[in-house]
Chains A and B, each alone.
Chain A
Amino acid sequence: MLFTPGTSITTRLVLLFLASILLMTLDHKQQHMQNVRAGLQVVVYPIRYLVNLPVDIASWASENLASRQTLVEENASLRYQNLLLQGQMQKFDALQAENRRLQELLGSSFKVADRVLIAELYRVDFDPYKHLIVINKGSTDDTYVDQPVLDAHGVMGQVIQVGPYTSTVRLITDPSHLLPVQVNRNGLRTLAVGTGAIDRLELPYLPNNADIKVGDLLVTSGLGRVFPPGYPVGRVTKVVRNNGSGFAKVSAEPSALLDRSREVLLVWSADTDAGARATETQQPKAKTSADKRK
């Protein structure tokens, strides 16, 4: 298929070996392979789709075959919840206006509300040593590399690969993920490192005398320019001050339901260039992501 029948298998292996090394080197540098990856994402799309199909059918069935009684109950509870949220929103609007006024007094530019889009998860597995997920939105929905992903409770991760109809997201608990955070109580800034355990983050760069305690809420600090500031990341669950080492051992539990959320939110934050342009002009994705990389 790939070769003429005459080529010996050793020659083939050597050629493929060189091709693989070339691919790996280019991919490791992460600059030239976005288009190749996007193409390959399309090729594997049917496989992912098929694996996800039973889950789709099950959720379709549970929506369409639900009894009237259940729907009525669900409707009532949603109505009640909506009322509560609307009540809270009234206060929120007033607070937002007040906040904007104060920010203007301080002379800092206020962030307009971020644009969000709901994406659904594909039920497919990856390498168990990595924490990656696939979502059903891609470059046709203006998704871009490095885009923040949230759920209803907090930060989930960031987009690392974009295909036309799907994107791959790295969760904040992936061992190679670093997230700039700050303690909501006092503004102390640090980095949250993924551990490979789905329910634990570590904050290894805090000195022993840092003002942090169990129960503190961590929010994104906005440094690193990937995540908009102020979104909840997690709560501190353990602080061990170790006189021998100079650094405290601090762990936190992510606020987002990383292994349970079925729907996630993609955020176009208003202060990133790419986000602003995507919102205004609906530019094709390749361009925005290229700009974002710089």
Chain B
Amino acid sequence: MTLVRHHGGWTIVLTIIIALMLSILPLPVWAEFYRPAWPVLVLIYWCMALPQRVGVGIGWLTGLMLDVLKGALLGQHALALAVVCYLTLNLHQRVRVFPLWQQALTVMLLLALYQLLILWFDGITAGQTHKGWVYWMPTLIGTVLWPWIFVVLRDLRRRFKVS
């Protein structure tokens, strides 16, 4: 047992569940292609803020849920999310002190890597390769949204004293 007491685990779980819900919320067909990868954004935040609590394991489990919800190959999103969490954990001490816009750029790279991994597995297994430039729009939208997501989640973390 660790001596540090953990608080507010429910806040983390709830934000992840909300992110999962947002990723299957019905949208008009044109908007579906622009849907940001909500679970990735939320997990990047928690890995950065509380690296001792949220890590590759939780990232992987969330990814597995996402696989089932999205009807993807089992393990596809799981692996991509675990990799993103791993990189965030390694970078967290530097990224945490960045100004928000610089953080957003780092997040963009992580999101792009995530999308690339998914595209790669799709290419290997399903053989659909050409998705055009619109495939990268969620990365861009996620980057633009990052400052707001950061502020909202930080306030939630302080409000519910998650540690």
A interface residues, Cβ below 8 angstroms from B = 1-3, 5, 9-10, 12-13, 16-17, 19-24, 26-28, 33, 36-37, 40-41, 43-44, 47-48, 50-51, 55, 123-130, 132, 160-161, 168, 175-176, 198, 259
Contact = CB atoms under 8 A, between A and B. Distances in A.
B72 interface: yes
A2 B57 contact: yes
Contacts of B128: 129, 175-176
Interface stretch (B61-69, B144-152, B153-161): B61-69
Contacts of B122: 129
Main secondary structure of the interface of A (DSSP, over half): helix
Interface string B16-30: 010011011111010
Given A23-B78, A128-B32, A47 B56 contact: no
* A47, A48, A161 — most chain B CB neighbours (10 Å): A47
Contacts of A16: 56-57, 60, 78-79, 82
Interface in B37-72: 55-58, 60-61, 64-65, 67-72
10 contacts: A2-B61, A13-B83, A13-B86, A20-B82, A24-B74, A47-B21, A51-B26, A126-B70, A129-B128, A259-B29
A123 B76 contact: no
Contacts of A9: 55-56, 86, 89-90
Given A20-B78, A24-B125, 20 more contacts: A2-B57, A9-B55, A16-B57, A17-B79, A19-B75, A20-B79, A21-B75, A24-B74, A28-B73, A36-B74, A40-B65, A47-B20, A47-B21, A125-B24, A127-B70, A129-B128, A161-B71, A175-B128, A176-B128, A198-B29
Interface residues of B, number: 44
Contacts of A36: 74
B68 A37 contact: yes
A28 B79 contact: no
A13 B56 contact: yes
Contacts of B83: 13, 17
* Nearest 8 pairs of A and B residues by beta carbon: A2-B57, A23-B75, A20-B79, A20-B75, A128-B32, A27-B74, A124-B24, A24-B75
Interface string B99-135: 0000000000000000000000110011010010000
Nearest to B1: A5
Contacts of A48: 24, 69
A26 B75 CA distance: 10
Contacts of A130: 71
B81 to A, nearest CB: 10
Contacts of A41: 68
Given A5-B2, A17-B82, A127 B68 contact: no
B98 interface: no
* B65, B79, B126 — most chain A CB neighbours (10 Å): B79
A24 to B, nearest CB: 4
A40 B71 contact: no
Contacts of B32: 125, 128
A129 B131 contact: yes
Given A9-B86, A51-B24, A44 B68 contact: yes
